[in-house]
C-alpha cells in the first residue's frame, strides 16, 4: 500500500545492495556481502542523480567521479578535447519530435503541415543542438529499433518547396 517504500527498501540479488538513497541527489550502492557469485570488484558505486547540469561534468574534470552518463550536448566538445577523458557514444532508443495541433485552423490544411515538415533542417539541428551525436529519424521509432522500417520515406529539407506549398495554401 505504501508505494514510496519501493525507493527506500528495494530487494535484489545482484552484487550490490542499497546503502543510501537521497532523493534528487544520489544513490549509493555497497558490495553485497551475501552475493552468491564472486564479490563485486568495487566496494561501492555512487550514482549522482542531482541533474545539476554542468556540475556533473565539473565533478568528472576534478576526478570526483569516474563516469558521466548522458552529458549535455554542449559538454561534448569539452569532453572530446580533454586528453584524460574518453567519450563513448552509443545509440539510444529515444526520438525528439515536434507535435502539431491539427485542431488549430491554420494547421488543418495538410499542405501547411507538409510545408512545416519540409522547412525543418534536421541535419542542422542534429549538428548544432546534438553536436552530431544523433542519427536522423524519420519515424517515431529510432533507426536502431528492431521495429524501425528502413524503407520509411526520408523527408528532405526543401525551403523553396515549403514556401510554394504555403503560398498555395493561402
Q: Name the nearest CA neighbour of 99 among 73, 118, 125, 117.
A: 117
CATH number, domain of 21, equals 3.40.190.10
Domain membership of residue 90 (yes or no) is no
**How many domains are there within the chain?**
2
Would you state the pLDDT for residue 66?
Answer: 83
Whether residue 51 sits in one domain with residue 14: yes
DSSP 39: P
User: What is the structure's pLDDT at 33?
Assistant: 93
Q: Is residue 97 part of a domain?
A: no
Q: Residue 1's pLDDT is what? A: 66
Residue 150 belongs to some domain of the structure: yes
Residue 92 in domain: no
Whether 88 is covered by a domain: the verdict is no
Q: Rounded to an integer, what distance in angstroms lies between the CA atom of residue 87 and that of residue 68?
A: 9
Helix, strand, coil distribution of the chain in percent, nearest 5: 30, 10, 60
Clarify whether residues 76 and 9 are in a common domain: yes
Nearest to 49 by CA among 26, 67, 32: 26
Task: Give the dihedral sign, CA 100/102/107/110.
Answer: positive
Looking at 30, 48, 81, the residue that finishes a domain is 81
Q: Are residues 109 and 158 in the same domain?
A: yes
CB count in 10 Å sphere of residue 56: 21
pTM > 0.75: yes or no = no
Closest CA to 15 of 30, 27, 28, 32: 32
Answer yes or no: do 113 and 155 share one domain.
yes
- 70 and 12 assigned to the same domain: yes
Report the chain (170 residues): mean pLDDT per 10 consecutive residues.
72 90 88 94 88 78 84 88 90 84 94 96 90 84 86 92 97
Measure CA 120 to chain center. Answer: 21
> Domain range for residue 158?
105-169
Residues 73 and 115 in one domain: no
Amino acid at each position: 500500500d505504501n508505494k514510496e517504500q519501493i525507493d527506500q527498501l528495494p530487494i535484489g540479488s545482484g552484487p550490490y545492495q542499497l546503502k543510501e538513497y537521497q532523493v534528487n541527489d544520489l544513490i549509493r550502492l555497497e558490495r553485497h556481502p551475501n552475493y552468491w557469485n564472486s564479490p563485486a570488484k568495487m566496494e561501492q558505486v555512487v550514482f549522482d542523480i542531482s541533474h545539476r547540469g554542468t556540475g556533473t561534468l565539473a565533478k568528472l574534470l576534478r576526478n570526483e567521479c569516474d563516469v558521466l552518463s548522458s552529458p549535455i550536448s554542449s559538454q561534448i566538445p569539452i569532453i572530446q578535447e580533454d586528453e584524460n577523458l574518453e567519450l563513448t557514444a552509443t545509440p539510444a532508443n529515444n526520438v525528439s519530435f515536434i507535435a502539431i495541433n491539427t485542431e488549430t485552423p491554420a494547421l488543418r490544411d495538410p499542405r501547411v503541415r507538409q510545408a512545416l515538415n519540409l522547412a525543418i533542417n534536421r541535419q542542422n539541428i542534429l549538428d548544432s543542438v546534438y553536436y552530431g551525436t544523433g542519427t536522423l529519424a524519420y519515424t517515431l521509432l529510432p533507426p536502431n529499433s528492431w521495429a524501425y522500417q528502413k524503407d520509411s520515406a526520408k523527408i528532405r529539407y526543401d525551403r523553396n518547396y515549403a514556401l510554394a506549398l504555403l503560398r498555395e495554401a493561402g
